[in-house]
Structure 1
Amino acid sequence: MNKRMIAYIVGWILIFEALFMILPCIVALIYKEASGFSFLITIFLCLCAGGPFVRKPPKNKIFYTREGFVTVALSWIVLSCFGALPFIISGYIPNPVDALFETVSGFTTTGASILTDVEALPYCLIFWRSFSHWIGGMGVLVFILTLLPMSGGSHMSLMKAESPGPSVSKLVPKVQSTAKILYEIYIVLTIVQIILLLIGKMPLFDALATSFGTAGTGGFGIKNDSMASYSPYLQTVTTIFMILYGINFSVYFLLLAGRPKQALQSEEARWYLGIIGVSILVIALQIRHLYPSFGVGLHHAAFQVASIITTTGFATTDFNLWPEVPRCILLLLMFAGACAGSTGGGIKISRLIILAKTVKKELYQLIHPQSVRQVVIDGRAVEHDVLRSINVFMVLYFMIFAFSVLFISVDGNDLITNFSAVAATLNNIGPGLELVGPTQNFSLFSNWSKLVMIFDMLAGRLELFPLLLILTPETWRKF
């Protein structure tokens, strides 16, 4: 285990977090808010904690998958703990568990909140909440990969551990170049959305915060009604970009590289868009009587479907009041999630496709025992290791889900609230149903339940394995 390299990377995480906090300091300066001092104190603490680890680069810069998973898990925990300090120091969220819940929800792009009045926060803290979505959307370690010189398979070990989806492929021969391309696409999409929102006369601060939340598919609203008070144009722009951020970024790379045919061959993207289209149509038909016209219902259906399947969590209406069929569809979309290689959460469409094809293959072989069939996606056979990891992932996923629902049930809330709260946190969505619906929040839960859901948010964002690995005694025995 390359302990020195792990410490070096975690140290750089703290340095970059300190740099990121300069932006909310500027916001505090613009709006003349005393809460900006909480960020200055946190910046000092980040530099003091991270500085000693990065002062001298380690001689051995190579590490492999196990170190990569440990590094990613520790980095996200450290990032979240220090990121919560401004809320505690400023006094706006004095309970450390609440502050950690809010911060983890931000970095993991979940968007679940314990705040009952978001608009009561100073602008610098509102900005930090939304900006944490943008940082966590693509992954802070992917950003660091573009800057840190590393060797051998080290880049890929980190990228595999942090990137969402069953597998990670290099867009170009060098992993560092791949990370740069991903961030370039991410930044360009964010800038385009900001411009389009400004054209719709959204205030600059609102446009920045909304774009950060959309890009990271996080969904922290800066208003108590989320996106409901904005114009249909602004809601439509947000709908489109939520869907765009839910597509595998390699599709955009192929389009930019002049390979549109290869991009259009993405089976996952076609299923993703197809599921969105069918869900919008069915829900719009089901809720048409709740709104003045079918067009208005269609607009809200499109926004909520895009928001839930991409695990963004914005809302334009209280879908908790919709009939059972639309609510059931939204609940299923929570589990489906977006595409692998996107900023969205959930199980991922690619995993579901592969699982469905695996079931089909097994059924066929029961009828034809002598046949030899492979699971194929996008014209390529899926390797056995990928199939095995998906099967293990699904088993772990439902085990964590079941135990989480059991653990938070001690608070005495109803089953739908508990079930959807775990679905919303483990899938990094934000709002659930009943007492955690789009007009509610997670403040009703005890500190114990919030800690369980903090674990769920981190586990969901990191695809389970990195977080579970650091909880495995064997990992530390060999450390």
Structure 2
Amino acid sequence: MSSLTKLNYKIISHLMGLLLMVNGGFMLLSSVVSWYYKDGVLAQMLMAGAVAVGVGGIVMVSTKNHRKEIQKREGYIIVAFGWIFMALIGTLPYIFTGAIPSFTNAFFETMSGYTTTGASILTDIESIPKGVLFWRSITHWIGGMGIIVLAIAILPLLGIGGMQLFAAEAPGPGGDKLHPRITDTAKRLWLIYVGYTLAETILLKIAGMSFFDAINHSLATLSTGGFSTKNASVAYWNDNPMVQYIIIVFMFLAGSNFVLSYFAFKRKFQKILHDEEFKMYSILIVGLTIVGALLIYFQADVSLSSIAHPMVWGPFESAVRHSLFQVLTIITTTGFVSADYTLWTPFLTIFFFGMMFLGGCAGSTAGGIKIMRHLIMIKNGVLEFKRTLHPHAILPVRYNQKAVPQPIVFNILGFFILYMLSFIIGTLVFSWLGLDFKTALGGAASTLGNVGPALGDLGPVDNYAYLPDAAKWWSSFLMLIGRLELFTVLILLTPFFWRNR
């Protein structure tokens, strides 16, 4: 009988301390923003950063004599609890500054940031101190590529291998590697991530945004998080189409596999053109945008949106732009708002709601089910017809001209069933907590898919502030399991995971 070794709690605690110190470092960076803009909360931001660094440092020092080995079980625990502890300590800037005095609200906002959901309880974003707003944006920038991937790049300094962490955290079912060593893979991904963020910041500044707005929206775009510095979100710049087009380009990049970006920089364009997921991702965006634009142009009036500015480049351009923006912001689960699509036609409302179940590409910062999983499920479904006619034939599912191992197909089918079951249970719990059907349905789809805007009372121009506290905690749980792709968190709820035998 196979045996499970005892959990290495010291290495788990040691890495928790490391993550808290990283968190504290970004809080201190946010305090620099407070100092520069003289927003009146410098002392509180410094205190929050000092507490995070101090607690993390104490934990690291007290567990420095640990066995430097991470098994798969430790990897799952470090990822899941790492996110939870980071969210808990991440509430300090909100609470210390009084920007969000309620712990429940502060935890919701922080978890929404780290999971790149972008759902918010803030009703007047523009009144929040700039240092706190920058911290808010930083939370989903960290969460975008994964706190744990960041830690992998640091782990060699501790003499620890990070493969188990990468397997638990890396978004999507794909396993493309840029380099044989996992630490080098993490570093290359982060280099691309940082480079895109800087490039978008510069372009948005040139297009007319202030530097503060530009950096915050770049952090939000590349992480597919969607936190904005304006109450109206990106609709604030509806009279400046160039701002929206720049964000559209970087949402597209953020929703695609970052490995393909690496290939592009290496001029390996054939690998991009032959990637089935990227082709489907591009075709879906173009097709859905055309359908949406025609419906908006002939059946809806974008200017009637409660947050839209007058159209400036003509009605057809505006219809195309709003359609493309909404398609991308939902498929990539970014959650920016350029208009209230629930004010258009009922069909368009359902049209955009359905996109919440698509997700971006594997290996991107997007949430959701992912295009790759949909592709493999469709291919397997078609093959089932052939297997019915030819029961003795060996017909493997092929992806990028390679046979997909059957365990991966089973894993994807299992994931989809578990995802839809989580959506149904999520909707039922929201209904039980007092939300109406439309709001419960949208809230479950949006939080589980890390989208942000939903339907009903949680629509694009509304927020999550009115939810009862229990619903906010339930939303936080759905955001967490959605961001970590279900298995990483839900496996911790099984009794056999914790048995040592």
| Bin of the TM-score, shorter chain as denominator length | over 0.9
- Distance (Å, rounded) in 2 between the aligned partners of 1:152 and 1:340: 29
- The more displaced of 213-222 and 288-297 is 288-297
Verify the 8 A CA contact 2:17 2:57 in the aligned structure 1. yes
1:87 aligned partner, one-letter code: Y
Q: Which of 22, 29, 46 is equivalent to 1:23?
A: 29
Residue number among 190, 195, 198 corresponding to 2:197 in the alignment = 190
Q: In structure 2, do the counterparts of structure 1 residues 342 and 444 end up closer, same or farther at CA, with 3 Å as the change threshold?
A: same
Distance (Å, rounded) in 1 between the aligned partners of 2:53 and 2:242: 43
- TM-score (structure 2 length as normaliser): 0.92
Secondary structure of 2:30's aligned partner? helix
Structure 1, unmatched stretches of 5+, are none
227, 234, 246: which is aligned to 1:227? 234
What does 1:118-197 align with in structure 2 at a 5 Å threshold?
118-149=125-156, 154-197=161-204
RMSD of Structure 2 on Structure 1 (CA) = 1.7
The equivalent residue for 1:51 is: 57
1:7 aligns with 2:6: no
Which whole-Å deviations, capped at 9, do the CAs of 1:130-153 have from their partners, x for residues lacking one? Answer: 111111100111111112118999
Decide whether the 8 Å contact of 1:69 with 1:466 is kept in 2: yes
Report what 1:382 is aligned to.
404
Q: Measure, in 1, the Cα distance between the counterparts of 2:124 and 2:294.
A: 34
Asked if the contact 2:367/2:483 (under 8 Å) is kept, the reply is yes
Contact 1:62 1:151 in 2 (8 A): no
> 2:438 aligned with 1:428, yes or no?
no
- CA shift in 2, pair 1:151/1:122, >3 Å: closer
- Code of the aligned partner of 1:464: L
1:237 aligns with 2:246: yes
Offset of residue 473 of structure 1:
3.1
Count of aligned positions? 479
Distance of 1:188 and 1:414 partners within structure 2: 43
After superposition, where does 1:42-121 map in structure 2 within 5 Å?
42-55=48-61, 57-121=64-128
Q: Any idea what the Cα deviations from partners look like across 1:259-284, whole Å, max 9, x if unmatched?
A: 21122111000000100000100010
CA apart distance, 1:154: 4.1
Query: Which of 318, 322, 325 is equivalent to 1:303?
Result: 325
Are residue 209 (structure 1) and residue 231 (structure 2) matched? no
1:216 deviates by: 0.4
Which structure 2 residue ranges, 5 or more long, are not aligned? Answer: 1-6, 303-313
- Listed one character per residue, the Cα deviations across residues 37-90 of structure 1 (whole Å, up to 9, x for unaligned) are 232222222223211332264453222222111110010000000001211222
Q: Provide the rounded CA distance (Å) in 1 between the counterparts of 2:54 and 2:496.
A: 31
The answer to whether structure 1 residue 353 and structure 2 residue 375 are counterparts is: yes
**Partner residue, 1:312:** 334
Asked if 2 retains the 8 angstrom alpha-carbon contact of 1:283 and 1:301, the reply is yes
1:2 & 1:151 partners in 2: Cα distance? 16
Q: TM-score, normalised by structure 1?
A: 0.97
Partner Cα distance (1:74, 1:179) in 2: 20
Contact 1:159 1:168 in 2 (8 A): no
Query: Offset at 1:385?
Result: 2.2
Q: Structure 1 counterpart of 2:444, which letter?
A: V
What SS is found at the alignment partner of 1:398? Answer: helix
What amino acid is the match of 1:163? Answer: A
- 1:281 pairs, out of 275, 290, 298, with 290
Structure 2 match to 1:340? 362
Distance 2:66 2:249 in 1: 47
1:441 paired to 2:463: yes
What is the Cα deviation at residue 33 of structure 1?
2.5
Within 2, Cα distance between the matches of 1:330 and 1:37?
43
